[in-house]
Structure formats: C-alpha cells, structure tokens
Amino acid sequence: MDPYDYNANADEEFVSDVLERLERRLPVFRGALRIDSYSSLHDVTPDRYPFAGPQTGIEGYADAWGGSGHGFKLAPAIGRRLADWIIDGKIDDESRQLSHDRIDEGRLFVQKFGGNRG
C-alpha cells in the first residue's frame, strides 16, 4: 500500500456496524450525530513493538515510532526515556530492547499469544 496514495474515506458498512454495536453497548449514544469519519494507516514494525531511541549513524538524533496505534498510551513513558537518552546519553538495557537496530540484528520480540502487544 502506498502511504501517500490510499483511500482515506471511512468504509460505511464498517462504520454502521461499529455504531450499531456502540449503541447496543452504550444506549446513551442512540441517535448521536456522527460528524465525520475517516480511515488512516498505522505504522507497524515487523514484531509489532515500537522503535524508540537513538538512530544508528545519525549523531544526536533519537525518535520513537511504529506503535501501531498504541503510541498515544506509550508516549509519556517513551518520551521520558527519549529525554533521558538525549540529556544523559545513557540507554538502559530495558530501553535498548526497543532499538531501531533490533530487526537487523535478529532481536525481534516473540510472543506466544496474539492480540494487543504494545
């Protein structure tokens, strides 16, 4: 899929299904006005865990991405780690697990269960 050329329109059948389920689960939403809907892409890494930390070969640069929609809940903790890395220049072993290099080095996270992994 081309991330610069995809259909950003929401699938009406999917939206209708979700709204019906929402109204059954939370009746207060019956008759609520839907203003807009859209579709978007998620950035997903091969092991479905985000990348975070310094980029090899780019001096002084660190970032975080690939959270596949979980970034909003991970952002406070990852942001704190990024700030520590940038200010102190130190990366602890726990944080190193999210290294951008882990894929090339064969250090992917492996799960024995499916579902939400972030």
Both 16 and 65 in a single domain? Answer: no
- Please say whether the beta carbons of 51 and 45 come within 8 A: yes
Q: Into how many domains does the chain fold?
A: 2
First to last CA, the chain: 23
Regarding whether 117 and 67 lie in a shared domain, the answer is yes
Collect the ranges in the chain with pLDDT lower than 70. 112-118
Reading the block at residue 55, the tokens are 């980029």
How many CB atoms within 10 Å of residue 47?
A: 15
Q: Are residues 68 and 96 in the same domain?
A: yes
Q: What is the pTM of this model?
A: 0.65
pLDDT at 117: 54
d(CA 20, CA 2) in angstroms, rounded, equals 31
Q: Residue 24: which domain range?
A: 1-41
